[in-house]
Amino acid sequence: MKRILRVQEKAFDAAAEIAALEIDSATGALVTFTGLCRDEGGTLAALEIEAYPEMAEAEIGRVVTEAERRWPLDAVLVVHRTGMIGAGEAIVLVATASAHRDEAFHAAEFLMDYLKTRAPFWKKAHRRDGSAGDWVAAKDDDEAAAARWISSKPAL
Amino acid sequence: MKARYFAWVRERIGLAEEEIAPPASVKTIADLIAWQQQRGENYAAAFANAATIRAALDRQHVKPGTPIAAAAEVAFFPPMTGG
């Protein structure tokens, strides 16, 4: 199984990243997810993402290993940015490849749910009016989204 | 051991990292949080609500009851908001 996992400041080119996975003809499904910086109704200028870099790469690796244990995957890609990310820019890219679409969809959703609650990244909001940013609070919904996988066996 | 702080824990303490030497009576993450709370106003502010603090030992998530044992690096941070 091919895996590409990276934490970086610079913007990524999703098409080039996915091409680097070199998906072969055994794969029937490729799911990609891109998380973008929302402008929150025009009030947010940028998100500043802080990381615990050494742990982030290790933790992403552990989450990907768990996804591979649950679903038969041909390839996984996770690229997560840090630093200042302007409204409209991409923050995270996840791609999963499998023989069939159900596995690829489930694995991509699982990866995002787990990354949100386990990967050591923190977002600080920078407002368009220039006021001091607040740290974005963790959402109970994200915890619940991650928790639903605890009892779910690979359904496929 | 080395202590690292992130996001608002880092801001409230005013440090990203430091060497700490807790007494032998500090055995678990919960003990370490209680010890940190009494190191000064900035630490008291950072660790005021232990329920909002997450911890890692040697770059792996741990729970409050986890023994510190021989870990080289401990990290404290708020619940994560990546993705």
Chain mean pLDDT for chain B: 97
Cβ atoms of residues B82 and A138 within 8 Å: no
Could you tell me the pLDDT band of residue A156, with boundaries at 50, 70 and 90?
very low
According to DSSP, the β-strands at B17-19 and A73-81 are unpaired
Out of B6, B60, B83, the one facing A50 most closely (by C-beta) is B6
Of A56, A91, A135, the CB nearest to B8: A135
Looking at every residue in chain A, the average pLDDT score rounds to 93
Give the number of A-B residue pairs with CB atoms closer than 8 Å. Answer: 73
State the pLDDT confidence band at A73, using cuts at 50, 70 and 90: very high
Q: Average pLDDT for residues A35-56, to the nearest whole number? A: 96
Q: How far apart are CA A65 and CA A57, in angstroms?
A: 12
Sort strands A73-81 and A2-8 into parallel, antiparallel or unpaired. parallel
Contacts (Cβ under 8 Å, ≥6 apart) of B55: B29, B32, B33, B61, B62, B64, B66, B74, B75, B76, B77
- For residue B51, give the amino acid letter: A
CB contact under 8 A, B77 and A135: no
Percentage of chain B exceeding pLDDT 70: 100
Q: Report the percent of chain B where pLDDT is more than 90.
A: 98
CA distance B69 to B54: 18
Q: What is the pTM of this model?
A: 0.93
Number of H helices, E strands in chain A: 4, 7
For B64, the 3-state DSSP assignment is coil
SS3 content of chain A, % helix, strand, coil (to 5): 30, 35, 35
Q: Which among B8, B77, B83 has the least Cβ separation from residue A115?
A: B83
pLDDT higher than threshold 50 for residue A155:
no
Is B59–A80 a contact, with Cβ atoms under 8 angstroms apart?
A: no
